[in-house]
Amino acid sequence: MANRSVVPFGPQHPVLPEPIHLDLVLEDEKVVEAVPKIGYVHRGLEKLVQKRDFNDFVYIAERTCGICSFMHGMGYVEAMERIFNVDIPGRAKYLRTIWCEMSRIHSHLLWLGLLADGFGFEALFYQCWRMREQVLDMFEEATGGRVIFSVNKIGGVLKDMPAEMLDKFVKNFNYLELQLKDITEVFLKDYTVESRLRGVGILSKEDAITLGAAGPMMRASGIKIDTRSLGYAAYEDIDFEIITSNECDSYARCEVRIKEIFQSIDIIRQAVSKIPDGELSVAIKGNPNGEAFARMEQPRGEAIYYCRANGTKFLERMRIRTPTFTNLTPMLHTLKGAELADVPLLILTIDPCISCTER
Amino acid sequence: MAKVAKSPWLLHYDGSSCNGCDIEVLACLTPIYDVERFGIINTGNPKHADILLITGGINTQNKAVVEQLYSQMPDPKVVCAVGICACNGGVFKDCYNIIGGVDNVIPVDVYVPGCAARPNAIIDGVVKALGVLEEKREKMKAERGKTN
């Protein structure tokens, strides 16, 4: 038997923008086991519900993570709207849907860039992030913020997008789609990219089910689940096919995410063509009492929000289950048997968001 | 700052930030803002770095990591706290696991406000940090002159 050695990986590491620590047990260059240690970003955010009132907490919920910030805020307000038993206006639902999909596009482009950086393709990394800036510019125009833009409130949304702005955004997305087609060629057909992604980090369908994978990681293993099909916000009025792949490797995860960007652009077009006129929010009265769940498809997978209120202005408990947390076990599974040089890439393929996970 | 004479390298560490400031730090390096045109490179190695950019507040778990990274950087070095959480804890100040801003653990030279800090603000902070770095370098030179 070859000698075993333990290589520490992280918490500060060039390919990881966020801190996570892994102890990699190696036999020569092969990883035998990976032992994670998390908690570097733990703040204790959920406990803050007892110190901030339920309206203020929207801003804390948004700061669970800066990448899917809009959706975290939205998950919290949807759970609270269920406690208050209010139905929000149609226009607010559509605006939320559009912002959700814009968040997904920017998050996936960010991930594609990091992946390209992970396998050493700097020019591709820059192209992805250049395209991502176009989405951020639209966010800034519509809401005033680039990454954290606080437009949710319990009962609706705070800002409107006029019809001219929506038309302009559709044009911008049409242009973005053209640029995206160019980089899709590189990601899916370039032989150097394929050589790094094909057959690396296999997660079979059975393993994905038993280990509880979520989001694109799960869909790349051939499981057809997408929380958006539950029809929260305006998704029940929108046609879309769940994107899956049966190849189960890193290439499949990349392919699923790229196709999801095209799908998101299509959802935005549909939403803009169907958006109704009307109010942006309904008033809520009194303090919340009761408990509720909300589920949401984030760029990284399904997230669950739970709120329990006791009739005062402070909630008793707020809990988020985030997709990266459930994806950590499948990731450790894919690391076993991988080569040390592939480890950063495999960590990236789950699209880790440590800040959501540790809160 | 009349001109940038040297190529300062950055080390970026995510304290306990929400990612908002981190992706803005990365956005500074990409084509739209592009600080690499000034010779500023994001390095992963503390021993290569002149400027330490920290986002997010300090918690009990990452305190030792931040101290260690700071001690590994060669002198002269500048610390730049990016975002309100790194400055004083921000919205998470009241969380049970947050000790506070970065200055609780290591000396901070430049504070960049914002939630999330905008790339323009971060670049401004880095330019200020370059001035501080130059001062520290001069001071070190003077002290070396005394001992020789």
Q: Does B52 score more than 60 pLDDT? A: yes
CB-CB neighbours of B13 under 10 Å: 25
List the domain range (segments joined by +) for residue A338: 40-349
Q: Are residues B116 and A353, on separate chains, in Cβ contact within 8 Å?
A: no
pLDDT of amino acid B3: 65
pLDDT of amino acid B136: 86
Q: Does B5 score more than 80 pLDDT? A: no
Q: What is the CATH number of the domain that holds A160?
A: 1.10.645.10
Residue B131 covered by a domain: yes
Residue B138 covered by a domain: yes
Residue A33 covered by a domain: no
The pair of structure tokens assigned to A299 is 């760029």
The predicted model gives B28-47 an average pLDDT of 82
Report how far residue B49's alpha carbon sits from residue B74's, in angstroms, rounded to the nearest whole number.
8
Question: ipTM of the predicted structure?
Answer: 0.81
User: What is the full per-residue pLDDT of chain A (359 aa) written as tens digits?
Assistant: 668 888 888 777 766 767 778 888 888 888 888 888 877 888 888 888 888 888 888 888 888 888 888 889 899 998 988 898 888 888 898 999 999 999 999 999 999 988 888 888 888 888 898 899 899 889 888 888 888 888 888 888 888 888 888 999 999 999 999 999 988 988 888 888 888 888 888 888 888 889 888 888 888 888 888 888 887 888 888 888 888 888 888 889 889 999 999 999 999 999 999 888 888 888 888 888 888 988 888 888 888 999 888 888 888 888 888 888 888 888 888 888 888 888 888 888 888 888 888 88
Residue A14 covered by a domain: no
Q: Are residues A47 and B95, on separate chains, in Cβ contact within 8 Å?
A: yes
Residue A27 covered by a domain: no
The pair of structure tokens assigned to B16 is 């306990």
Report how far residue A50's alpha carbon sits from residue A83's, in angstroms, rounded to the nearest whole number.
17
Residue A22 covered by a domain: no
The pair of structure tokens assigned to A207 is 């393993």
- Chain B 26-65, residues with CB within 8 Å of chain A CB atoms: 26-27, 30-32, 43-46, 56-57, 59, 61-62, 65
Residue B1 covered by a domain: no
pLDDT of amino acid A14: 65
Residue A359 covered by a domain: no
3-class secondary structure per residue, chain A: CCCEEEEEECCCECCECCCCEEEEEEECCEEEEEEEECCCCCCCCHHHHHCCCCCCHHHHHHCCCCCCHHHHHHHHHHHHHHHHCCCCCHHHHHHHHHHHHHHHHHHHHHHHHHHHHHCCCHHHHHHHHHHHHHHHHHHHHHHCCCCCCCCEECCEECCCCCHHHHHHHHHHHHHHHHHHHHHHHHHHHCHHHHHHHCCCCCCCHHHHHHHCCCCHHHHCCCCCCCHHHHCCCCHHHCCCCCCCCCCCCHHHHHHHHHHHHHHHHHHHHHHHHHCCCCCCECCCCCCCEEEEEEEEEECCEEEEEEEEEECCCCEEEEEEECHHHHHHHHHHHHHCCCEHHHHHHHHHHCCCCHHHHHC
Contacts of A136 in chain B (CB under 8 A): 27
pLDDT, averaged across chain B:
84
Instruction: Please name the residue of chain B whose CA is at the shortest distance from the CA of residue A72.
Output: B18
Distances (CA, A) of A263 to A98, A105, A188, A211: 12, 9, 17, 27
* Closest approach of B11 to chain A, Cα-based (Å): 9
Give B57-108 pLDDT, tens digit per residue: 888 888 888 888 888 888 888 999 998 888 888 888 888 888 888 888 899 9
Sorted by sequence, the CB contacts under 8 Å of residue A245 that are 6+ apart come out as A219, A220, A222, A252, A255, A256
Q: Under a CB-based contact definition with an 8 Å cutoff, are residues A185 and A297 in contact?
A: no
Beta strands B78-82; B51-55: pairing state? parallel
List the domain range (segments joined by +) for residue B50: 9-147
Report how far residue A352's alpha carbon sits from residue A298's, in angstroms, rounded to the nearest whole number.
12
pLDDT of amino acid A175: 92
Contacts of A65 in chain B (CB under 8 A): 18-19
Q: Residues of chain A whose C-beta is under 8 A from some C-beta in B?
A: 11-15, 17-19, 39-45, 47-48, 51, 59-60, 63-67, 69, 110, 113, 125-126, 129-130, 133, 136, 146-148, 353, 355
Residue A6 covered by a domain: no
Q: Under a CB-based contact definition with an 8 Å cutoff, are residues B129 and B80 in contact?
A: yes
Residue B84 covered by a domain: yes
Please give the single-letter amino acid code of residue A268: I
Q: What is the CATH number of the domain that holds B110?
A: 3.40.50.12280
Q: Does B2 score more than 60 pLDDT? A: no
Residue A16 covered by a domain: no
Phi first, then psi, for residue A207 (nearest 5°) are: -65, -40
Q: What is the CA A32 to chain-centroid distance, rounded? A: 29
The pair of structure tokens assigned to B78 is 């500048």
Considering only CB atoms, A43 lies closest to which of B13, B43, B97, namely B97
The pair of structure tokens assigned to A288 is 């919340």
* Closest approach of A52 to chain B, Cα-based (Å): 10
Residue B2 covered by a domain: no
Q: Under a CB-based contact definition with an 8 Å cutoff, are residues A153 and A58 in contact?
A: yes
The C-alpha torsion from B117 through A167 and A107 to A280, rounded to 10°, is: 70
Report how far residue A342's alpha carbon sits from residue A30's, in angstroms, rounded to the nearest whole number.
10
Contacts of B22 in chain A (CB under 8 A): 17-18, 66
- Domain count of the fold of chain B: 1
CB-CB neighbours of A181 under 10 Å: 10
Q: Under a CB-based contact definition with an 8 Å cutoff, are residues B81 and B39 in contact?
A: no
Identify the CA nearest to A290 among candidates A81, A74, A55, A87. A81
Q: Are residues A42 and B61, on separate chains, in Cβ contact within 8 Å?
A: yes
Residue B4 covered by a domain: no
pLDDT of amino acid A108: 92
Considering only CB atoms, A43 lies closest to which of B19, B21, B59, namely B59
* Closest approach of B67 to chain A, Cα-based (Å): 12
**Residues found in chain B:** 148
Considering only CB atoms, A60 lies closest to which of B19, B21, B91, namely B91
B51, β-bridge pairs:
B10, B78
Q: Under a CB-based contact definition with an 8 Å cutoff, are residues A340 and A329 in contact?
A: no
pLDDT of amino acid A262: 92
Inform me whether the C-beta atom of residue B115 falls under 8 Å from chain A C-beta atoms: yes
Residue B16 covered by a domain: yes
- Domain count of the fold of chain A: 1
